Amino acid sequence: MGRVLHAFRSRKIRIAVNATLVAGALTAAGLATHHFLHSGWPLSDADPLLVAAAGVLFVAAYAFKAWGWQRLFAPDGRPQALTLAAAGGAAAVGGVALPGRFDEAIRIAVVRRLPGKRAGFGAICLTIIVVGLLDSAALTPAASVAAAAAERGSVRIGFALVAAAGLAAALVVFSLPRLARHGWIARFKLGQWLQQHCACRRSAWHAWMLISVSWALRGLALFVLLQALSVGASFPLALAFLCASAASAALPIAPVGAATQAGAGAAILIVSGVPKADAVAFSLAAQGLIIVAGAAVCAAAALWHLALRWSGRGGEVATAH
């Protein structure tokens, strides 16, 4: 790890990495443009008011996710919620071109680079792991509803496994503080480190509630978008799409994060009886709207920090005069 960090301090390495990311983003944008020119923009016939409402719900989901993530940091090293929301938005935008799981590196980089309270590298990684577990736990109700509404046995079993994984993830999160203090982990240095950085049960509970609200808002946004595109609005269908795309995001590695989620969402819609063209159009529209909402959150965070920087400079100039 030390060698890797030392390599990334090199200017040539940073330029090469940035060039690769830009090339990947341009390639993804070119492929998406080519697809839309031949197949048409999926939101061209949608209700604009409902699309706007879905976009607002997606932005609100980023906010609640950030508030939940914030609760997992120690109070003396807790980043701003806007910074954490920007990290989530940047990860969504980066998922257009980067393979799955690389979005976590984007989250870490944004949290470390934006101004505010500085959390340690290890603390950020720990909170990202816990957020992932709480994401699974928050999806348990949606997966249960989707499993009950599924017509095929294989689909029902898949959603039941997602729900079971969510329960197991919740058990891990709420058992972690006790294990760090009294379990076998406490015998090692890792246990001592977890005692200092692991969120207590109360904070984890608050984070779970806020993250659950975030996923509920995403499910509601998908329901509104289904109505906007006249695909066949139903809450079980929206929850099935939500769980399928979220489960695909948990894969250890995937060709492109956003494309994998869009493909998984389209597949579950097709299995549920939605025509293939409508399923693909809705999946692309949903993923595109999530990315646009994430970009809007990033832009808002950048403007906010820029305004704070300029206001600080203005105060320094006034004090000097």
pLDDT in single tens digits along all 321 residues of the chain: 445 445 445 666 656 655 555 555 455 555 555 555 555 555 667 788 998 999 999 999 999 999 999 999 988 878 888 889 988 888 888 776 666 567 788 888 888 877 666 777 888 888 999 999 999 999 999 888 888 888 777 788 888 988 899 999 999 888 888 777 766 666 667 666 777 778 888 889 999 999 999 999 999 999 999 888 877 667 888 888 888 888 776 655 444 556 677 777 788 888 888 888 788 888 888 888 888 888 888 888 888 878 877 876 544 433 444
Collapse the DSSP code of 3 into the 3-class scheme (helix H, G, I; strand E, B; otherwise coil) and give the result: helix
Q: What is the pLDDT of residue 9?
A: 55
In a domain, 102, yes or no: yes
Per DSSP, the three-state class of 231 is coil
Ramachandran area for residue 245 (φ above 0: left; ψ -120 to 50: alpha; else beta): alpha
Q: Give domain status of residue 298, yes or no.
A: yes
Domain total for the chain? 1
The pLDDT of residue 68 is 94
Residue 172 included in any domain: yes
What pLDDT, on the 0 to 100 scale, is given for residue 2?
47
What pLDDT, on the 0 to 100 scale, is given for residue 231? 74
Quick check: is 23 in a domain? no
CA dist list (Å): 48 to 103, 207, 231, 241, 277? 30, 33, 15, 21, 20
Positive or negative torsion for Cα 56, 59, 64, 67: negative
pLDDT of residue 4: 47
Residue 56 lies in a domain: yes
Residue 53's domain comprises 48-308
Instruction: Indicate whether 57 belongs to any domain.
Output: yes
Q: Is residue 119 part of a domain?
A: yes
Residue 59 is predicted with a pLDDT of 94
Residue 205: what pLDDT? 92
